[in-house]
Amino acid sequence: MKSLASEKALVILSGGQDSTTCLYWALEQFHEVETLTYDYGQRHRREIAAAALVAERAGVPNTVLHLSAFTELGGSSLTESLPIQEHGTKDGLPNTFVPGRNLIFLTYAAAYAYQRSIQHLVLGVCETDYSGYPDCRAETLKSTLAGINLGMEANFLLHTPLMLLSKKETVLLAKELGALSALAATHTCYNGTSHPCGTCPACLLRAKGFAEADIPDPLVDSE
Amino acid sequence: MKSLASEKALVILSGGQDSTTCLYWALEQFHEVETLTYDYGQRHRREIAAAALVAERAGVPNTVLHLSAFTELGGSSLTESLPIQEHGTKDGLPNTFVPGRNLIFLTYAAAYAYQRSIQHLVLGVCETDYSGYPDCRAETLKSTLAGINLGMEANFLLHTPLMLLSKKETVLLAKELGALSALAATHTCYNGTSHPCGTCPACLLRAKGFAEADIPDPLVDSE
């Protein structure tokens, strides 16, 4: 059995609102925190720069892993120049769905954590998210983690602090954690603009969360 | 739920003896067969060329996906210039173990099969293999597949026809399938020589299997 350090955590940091909030959650829970960012050929390169900036401001290391295979596989509006759809593919999933993305993210995070003997993995996924990606669900991640722990002879623990929160509750959690100002450095918009476009599903969801929490979005204010 | 074609199979083809035998097994079982090969920065590039040659001779398509992250993660003698060890790391696993490799291979295979609506995934792993990689075990793969099917809303079926076979039985299966001559195109040696070095764990295991089956290895004969 792999020996892992229980005081260390690895946060998968996309550069968005949710994973940034998770980073601040982890900073409260664990003695040592690192962040891991995936360059999977996402159309909006500023996500990766946002992750680096968020990590720098939080004073934690940020490592980028390159996953070119998603671009080679193709088929998602997040990695190709397809129009963003919220709903409506033939299989009932939005075309922002990248098959296997979170499964791959979690498995590589475990492989990285294995090398560094980090026991805790933190992922900013959310079941209540509008898109209903099936790889964000607790049941999916539980099975994947079971495979990882068996396959690496390890006992990683997975934390998904936002899993059952609404976007409003996530904003309130960020406030409680003192993470609001860090959210000014995050990137959310599916259309890739720094200032929220205000019309894509991701911007609408973010705006709704801040509005319901009755807190101004520091990203909007910063522009 | 994703609609998948039950007559189609995808074989993960490394270019070695086991996956080549699996390819011929799949050709007997399924109407349409494709192969997928991973370039994960393995030290011995001839594995990838061997896979292409095996697929060409079998008359099936071969696609290569590039997984650079394993090289970025490092730490295995299969991706770095470390001496090959069969046993003896501090965690009880040989230093040829690449954490998460088969989990990642299976998940990307499913993502590829998802795009092409292929239901069957075929993987040449073997529990009885000498190395005891924990990500080759049936229990590990079952959990990982459960995560994949939940995460992609699909019903992929995984076939591991060699799981419980000894290397001798695998050689006999290859003979039964008419795959022996194809094994001349495969690559096995951990030290990267085309002709078996005869001393690395992989060559020794292969030689033992052919000797016990009392069949000459076409790879040795072809040189």
pLDDT digit string, tens, across residues A94-133: 666 778 889 999 999 999 999 999 999 999 999 876 567 8
Q: Please name every residue paired with B10 in a beta bridge, in sequence order, or none if there are none.
A: B34, B121
By the CB < 8 Å criterion, does A65 face chain B? yes
As given in the structure block, the two tokens for residue A151 are: 């396959």
**pLDDT reported for residue A221:** 65
CA proximity to A97, closest of A109, A110, A84: A84
Split at pLDDT 50, 70, 90, the class of A36 is very high
> In Å, how far from its chain's centre is CA B24?
13
Is the CB of A100 inside 8 Å of chain B's CB atoms? Answer: yes
Domains in chain A: ranges and CATH = 8-221 (3.40.50.620)
CA-nearest residue to A108 within chain B is B100
Of A203, A173, A143, A149, the C-alpha closest to A19 is: A173
On chain A, the residues whose CB falls within 8 A of the CB of B68 are 66-68
pLDDT of residue A77: 59
pLDDT at A81: 57
> For each successive 10 residues of chain B (223 residues), what is the average pLDDT?
92 95 98 96 85 97 91 69 56 72 95 95 85 86 96 96 94 96 88 79 89 92 58
d(CA A100, CA A93): 13
Chosen from A76, A118, A123, A144 to mutate, greatest number of chain B CBs within 10 A: A144
CB A121 within 8 A of CB A113: yes
Beta carbons of B148 and A111 less than 8 Å apart:
no
| Rounded Cα distance, B94 and B132, in Å | 9
Chain A: give the shortest CA distance to residue B167, in Å.
22
State which residue of chain A sits closest to B76, comparing Cα positions.
A115
Q: Is A143 on the interface with B (CB under 8 A)?
A: yes
Determine the pLDDT at residue B75. Answer: 63
**Length of chain A measured in residues:** 223
Q: Which residues of B touch A105 (CB under 8 A)?
A: none
- A3, A66, A80, A107, best to mutate vs chain B, most B CBs in 10 Å: A107
Average pLDDT, chain A: 88
**Which residues between 190 and 209 in chain A have a beta carbon less than 8 angstroms from any beta carbon of chain B?**
none
Chain A nearest C-alpha distance from B143 (Å)? 5
Q: How confident is the model at residue A27 (pLDDT cuts 50, 70, 90)?
A: very high
Residues 6+ apart with CB under 8 A from A176: none
Within 8 A by CB and 6+ apart from B121, the residues are B9, B10, B12, B106, B109, B110, B113, B156, B157, B158, B159
**Which element (helix H / strand E) includes A71?**
helix A69-73
Longest dimension (CA), chain B: 50
Within an 8 Å CB–CB cutoff, is residue A61 touching chain B?
Answer: no
Helices A46-58 and A17-29, interaxial angle, to 10°? 20
**Any B CB within 8 A of A107 CB:** yes
pLDDT of residue B81: 58
The helix (run of H) or strand (run of E) holding residue B23 is helix B17-29
pLDDT at A128: 77
pTM, 2 dp: 0.89
Q: Which of B143, B145, B149 is the best substitution to test chain A (most A C-beta atoms within 10 A)?
A: B143
pLDDT number for residue B167: 92
Q: CB contact, 8 Å: B112 with chain A?
A: yes
Q: Measure the CA–CA gap between A150 and B106, rounded to whole angstroms.
A: 15
State the Cα–Cα distance between residues B192 and B23, nearest whole angstrom.
22
- List pLDDT tens digits, range A42-94: 777 889 999 999 999 999 999 999 988 888 887 665 565 555 555 545 556 66
Q: What is the predicted pLDDT for the residue at A191?
A: 77
Q: Which of A115, A135, A145 sits opposite B73 (nearest CB)?
A: A115
Q: Are B99 and A116 in contact (CB under 8 A)?
A: no
Output the pLDDT for position A100. Answer: 87
The phi and psi torsions of A12 (rounded to 5 degrees) equal -80, 110
pLDDT recorded at residue A69: 87
Which residues of chain A does B36 touch, with a Cβ-Cβ cutoff of 8 Å? none
Residue A86 has what pLDDT? Answer: 56
Residue A189 is predicted with a pLDDT of 83
Distance of residue A2 Cα from the nearest chain B Cα, in angstroms = 6
Predicted confidence at residue B79, as pLDDT, reads 61
Task: Using pLDDT thresholds of 50, 70 and 90, give the confidence band for residue A202.
Answer: confident
Q: According to the model, what pLDDT value does residue A73 have?
A: 83
Question: Do the interacting molecules here have an ipTM over 0.90?
Answer: no
